Amino acid sequence: MTANLDEKELRLLFNVPNSAPLGRNDLGWLRVLSQRSPNADGYFRISATDLKELSSREPRLMAKHDSTAARPWIFAKRGLNILPLSRSEYLVGRFDLFKNFPAEETLGPIRYMPFPDGIESLHPTSITSESAALNASALSGILEDFLGTEKLHATVAGRMSTGEIDVELACGSFHISKAQMEIDAGLESSDLLCLVEAKNHLSADLNIRQLYFPYRRFSQTMSKPVAPVYQVYSNGIFHLYRFEFSDPLRPESIALAHAARYTLTASRITLDVLQKLVDAATIEPEPEKIPFPQADSFARVINLCELLQEAPLSAQEITENYDFASRQTNYYASAAKYLGLITDNNRTWSLTDFGAKVMGEERNERNIALIKLLLRHEVFHTVLAKALRDNQVPTRGEISAIMEASGVGVTGSTLGRRAGTVLSWAQWVWALATTEELQL
């Protein structure tokens, strides 16, 4: 039977290039699609029992695609997505189920909301989980300010049923009956119900289902508006996104209504502070046997270290649970190792003692420590010193020339990619020192 094909045979059957890494979900879905295929309308139904039998994986794991980075290789190749129709059946078809987040620079000034006095069991420096971030945003009044509403009261949360809902997708109309969903927090004021999906890891997009199912469940029975909110907490910043559905029957009608960033700790990093850090830095030799970084988002390097505050993680766990593609896991883990923040043992990553100390600092001290780490490296020191002289971050071409002159050993086609990483990291530092913050 084709469902028993090994990885080599599956690669041949589906023409998967050897350069494409395949995880357990990737292989599971190749086995499923060796037996099932979409009909003329672009979909097929599959029971949880059949999905488990064909894939040799738990259905909930096979269906957990919280971002496009988590989609199986064959899903991305064929434009497929998956949606539960009940607790025992899934729909696989050609419909859109992801929404991109807006660019960071379009979110406006970061808003500073002081943490309330008298709270001892939770502190802004100890927010390391999604639940703690939810409690902090509720305690500080961030959610009320973001939604422009009166006092919010916690009402619903946890796993529950979708109830009975009809949906219209690109491949057809379907009925969903008591599928399982989860609400991280439901908070109600006199004029709205806020339903929050909370994350402590950054990604480029979100799975619409996470907001759509709770929205439909409660909007069908409530007289007041239901506000789906997605909250991401990382490196001292709350990223909040409110979405709306122009057509309640269509998950794909999702649109961003409002977005903002908040912090509980006012920034003290300015261009003057950055200049002092540059002047005081001592350049050290490049680390041996660690490649020059290729990880375009410095915020995600930090976020990976935040995830490791809870416990060490294998490369596979990072890839499967935190919206990193397999190649990205390697790039970002290697970048954090380059800075001395994490180390690995048999492909399991953990914070170094130094990394744990840095990540345990409050927002300002952590960011200053991270800038100091960058400034130990000649390329980053030269680029940031030039940015301060010119009052702007150098271009990719200028950075490529700096890298060639530094002798870091990056040449040929990889030079441009590595220069892109340096540009992105330098822009992160520059934004930190120049971004306006509003005190509320």
* pLDDT at res. 3: 59
* pLDDT at res. 411: 83
In a domain, 99, yes or no: no
* pLDDT at res. 33: 97
**Residue 430 near residue 394, CB atoms below 8 Å:** no
* pLDDT at res. 1: 46
Cα gap 23→74, rounded to integer Å = 12
Identify any residues that bridge with 199 across adjacent strands, giving them in sequence order: 232
User: Is the confidence at residue 76, as pLDDT, over 60?
Assistant: yes
- Which one, of 362, 354, 321, 319, lies nearest residue 336 by Cα? 354
Same-domain check for residues 127 and 81: no
User: Is the confidence at residue 362, as pLDDT, over 60?
Assistant: yes
* pLDDT at res. 9: 95
Mark which of 214, 229, 263 sits at the end of a domain.
263
Identify any residues that bridge with 187 across adjacent strands, giving them in sequence order: 154, 194
User: Is the confidence at residue 4, as pLDDT, over 80?
Assistant: no
Q: Which residues contact 221 (CB under 8 A, 6 or more apart)?
A: none
**Residue 232 near residue 247, CB atoms below 8 Å:** no
CATH assignment of the domain containing 175: 3.40.1350
Mark which of 213, 232, 263 sits at the end of a domain.
263
Cα gap 337→187, rounded to integer Å = 40
DSSP E strands in 33-152: the ranges are 43-47, 81-84, 89-93, 98-100, 110-112
Same-domain check for residues 301 and 188: no
**Averaged pLDDT, 302-326:** 90
Q: To 10 degrees, what angle do helices 413-434 and 271-280 make?
A: 130
- 17, 32, 83, 215 from 37: Cα distances, Å: 21, 9, 16, 31
Same-domain check for residues 288 and 414: yes
Number of domains composing the chain: 3
User: Is the confidence at residue 112, as pLDDT, over 70?
Assistant: yes
Segment 160-176, tens digit of pLDDT: 999 999 999 999 999 99
Report the chain's mean pLDDT, rounded to a whole number: 94
Same-domain check for residues 170 and 250: yes
Same-domain check for residues 310 and 377: yes
- What pTM does this model have? 0.92
Same-domain check for residues 200 and 225: yes
One-character DSSP codes across 24-51: HHHHHHHHHHTT----TTSEEEEEHHHH
Same-domain check for residues 192 and 163: yes
* pLDDT at res. 403: 95
Same-domain check for residues 254 and 334: no
Segment 124-151, tens digit of pLDDT: 888 888 999 999 999 999 999 999 999 9
Segment 372-391, tens digit of pLDDT: 999 999 999 999 999 999 99
- 183, 232, 302, 351, 405 from 131: Cα distances, Å: 12, 11, 19, 22, 47
- Which one, of 375, 99, 418, 96, lies nearest residue 242 by Cα? 99
In a domain, 350, yes or no: yes
Same-domain check for residues 130 and 204: yes
In a domain, 440, yes or no: no
Segment 273-284, tens digit of pLDDT: 999 999 999 999
Same-domain check for residues 341 and 220: no
Give the domain extent around 392: 271-434
